[in-house]
Amino acid sequence: MKKKIKDILKRGAIQVNGSLWIEGNGTHFFGPGPAELLEGIEDTGSINQAARKMNMSYKKAWEIVNRLNDKTVNPVVITAAGGKKGGGSTISEDAKQMIAYHRLLRERFRKFLEQETLRLK
């Protein structure tokens, strides 16, 4: 007779856990970090300032922005060249929809993990 998984594991603080992201052609391009970066760009109007708030290098932030823009039909980050007042960046409506979708997806994933954890108890 097969045992249930909960009868195999020791009792205690056991839970089902995992990470969630979206990938294209085997490459991760959208998850918590890129979503936070987009939100930071929206808040600050700057890729550099958003990266700083996340303790991320400007180079890394640009890599994320380029990866996102490469995987979407329309750019999700729109940049303006610097001038007397400097440049700036904004996010598109598509980016806002991606952030909203990501939030919903993470909530559904959290509920799934919670349900699976309950099965172990």
Average model confidence (pLDDT) across the chain: 91
Q: Which two tokens stand for residue 35?
A: 């979503």
Instruction: Label residue 46 by pLDDT band (50, 70, 90).
Output: very high
Domain 26-119 CATH assignment equals 1.10.10.10: yes
Q: For residues 51 and 61, is the Cβ–Cβ distance under 8 A?
A: yes
Say which residue, 12 or 53, is predicted with more confidence.
53
Neighbours of 91 (CB within 10 A): 24
Report the run of H or E that residue 113 belongs to, with start and end.
helix 93-119
Mean pLDDT in residue range 9-38 = 90
Q: Strand 22-24 vs strand 27-30: parallel, antiparallel, or unpaired? A: antiparallel
Q: For residues 72 and 94, is the Cβ–Cβ distance under 8 A?
A: yes
Q: What is the DSSP string of 61-93?
A: HHHHHHHHHHHSSS-SEEEE---TT--EEEE-H
pLDDT tops 80 at residue 4: no
pLDDT (0 to 100) of residue 73: 95
pTM score: 0.84
